[in-house]
Amino acid sequence: MPRVVVTGMGVVAPIGIGIGPFFDGLRSARAGVDRIASFDAGRFPTRIGAEVNGFDLDTTGLSDRERSALSADPKSAFGVTAARQALAAAFGDVPISRCYPEERVGVVAAAGLEIFHLDDLVPLFSDGAIDGRALRDHLFDTPVFTNLQIPADLGARAIARLTGAGGMVQVNVSACAAGTQALGEAFLAIRQGVLDVAVTGGYDSMLNPLGVGGFCMLEALSTANDLGPGASRPFDKHRDGFVLGEGAGFCILENAQSALARGATIHGEVLGYSSSMDAYRVTDPAPDQAGAIRAMRGALASAGLSPAQVDYINAHGTGTRKNDPAETRAIKKVFGSRARQIPVSSTKSQIGHLIGAAGAVEFIAGLFALNEQLLPATINLVTPDPQCDLDYVPGTPRQATVEHFMSNSFGFGGQNACIVAGQWSP
């Protein structure tokens, strides 16, 4: 089977736009969480988020037509921008069509949903309380055609036009696992000979009244508004929920033989991938962590690696009361006695939870560890939780030898996805 390598990366994130600024943010353990500025969140219990700052459609290099199409949908604009960065890193000024036939080029993306008239929802929230009945009545009584606003594949179609992709174009909307699933499905398409190259990743933004309000109803978000940058605190005893973020991450995955033939720079090799489903509850992980365990073990088997060969795990690590100990237990079951020797960190402590884009951006954080030999930190981890007793790289990044890493995504609805990558060795 063909080997699959990463030849380009692009990021739009709360701690930096572009790979250079994003990597600088990881090196300095910078926090991207602050008071929400894009809309008035004063009516909500949660008033903090990890927003992308300094993003300007007019300076992204997009055409007038692209800017016009994407101006109403920030998440798709983030995605197209990150994809353009990745393409430029992988191919420079050379059009991808000069390197590959269009039918061998694909786009596999992850996205979130944003399909409602958001301004109509604001009156449903007042004084920090949410009128759940009014929200439900609005969603179910409003005619469907007035709600449908933005196709889920808007960004993916724009990327396909940008690349001239004539192969498979696929969009995953599987919540928090979507980004990792997109990368994994692109990896499988190349490994199975369906594609030679894929532009793959995720984009999302739920920092709007519906997104924040909906997660507040689920009581999933941190309400530690006064902590600001310190509010996203995975694995900490005093964590009280995740912080919503926004952004995008894209990679160029290529058939290794083709990439080498054109003299591409290789940033790592994708080795294995697996996905599973808990089929338990929408918001809770399965009590026995069976789905998460299945996904991690499946990714290792796909990669042909033993637990002893994993040097770093980029955790799902949301900062919720249930997820963090559940993921900890799953890692222990998969890695056994070695679990406490493997550094595990959560990038969400810095950038918040990017939902559909989370897995893609966190995979790039894993590539940072692989190429820089520097582990991203779990910032804001001050008071250890006895239930979370692994090495979470608290506070500051750490030098380490990283040959292989795993990236976990365990999402709402019981979606689980894991991907494994390693140093490129011809």
404 assigned to active site: no
State residue 402 phi and psi, 5-degree precision: -120, 110
Distance of CA 207 to the CA centre of its chain: 15
99 assigned to active site: no
Which residue, 21, 38, 132, is CA-closest to 82?
21
DSSP-derived secondary structure letter, 394: B
> Where do we find the tokens 């390197």?
99
Tokens standing for 222? 């941190």
Is residue 49 a contact partner of residue 353, using CB atoms and an 8 Å limit?
Answer: no
Tokens standing for 314? 């980029």
316 assigned to active site: yes
Q: Which stretches does DSSP call E strand in 34-122?
A: 34-35, 48-49, 105-111
Distance of CA 120 to the CA centre of its chain: 29
* Side chain identity at residue 398, one-letter code: R
How wide is the angle at C-alpha 86 spanned by C-alphas 80 and 257, nearest 5°?
130
Catalytic choice (99, 216, 316, 388): 316
DSSP-derived secondary structure letter, 356: G
Instruction: Mention every residue, 6+ apart, whose C-beta is less than 8 A from residue 148.
Output: 115
Instruction: Mention every residue, 6+ apart, whose C-beta is less than 8 A from residue 401.
Output: 311, 373
Catalytic choice (99, 176, 251, 418): 176
Cβ atoms within 10 Å of 34's Cβ, excluding its own: 16
For the annotated catalytic residues, the residue numbers are: 176, 316, 353
